[in-house]
Amino acid sequence: MWWRTIVALLLVVTVAGVCFAQEKPAKPPRGAIVLFDGKDLSKWVSRDGKSPARWEITADGAMQVKAGTGDIMTRDEFGSFQLHI
């Protein structure tokens, strides 16, 4: 009886490990404009369109709004585009 419990537990742990494994980021397509690489906000500005974006980058490389800084937008304007995440 215990072997069923152990097998079930191992299966759950294995599936959880596969589900939460992080893949390496894919290389962007040729000619793509990378707006955020997890390291800097150089392609972003504050809502006024002039001031640098004052959001923060977390330890895991995500953008995070900093209290009181407001919205950000891309430095350049884009029309028709393909978004790759």
pLDDT in tens, 4-24: 666 566 666 666 655 566 667
Q: Which amino acid is at 1?
A: M
0.75 exceeded by pTM: no
Rounded Cα distance between 40 and 43, Å, is 8
Alpha helices in the chain (DSSP H): 2-20
Rounded Cα distance between 39 and 37, Å, is 5
Predicted pLDDT of residue 82? 87
pLDDT in tens, 27-72: 889 999 999 999 999 999 998 888 989 899 999 999 999 888 889 9
Rounded Cα distance between 28 and 22, Å, is 17
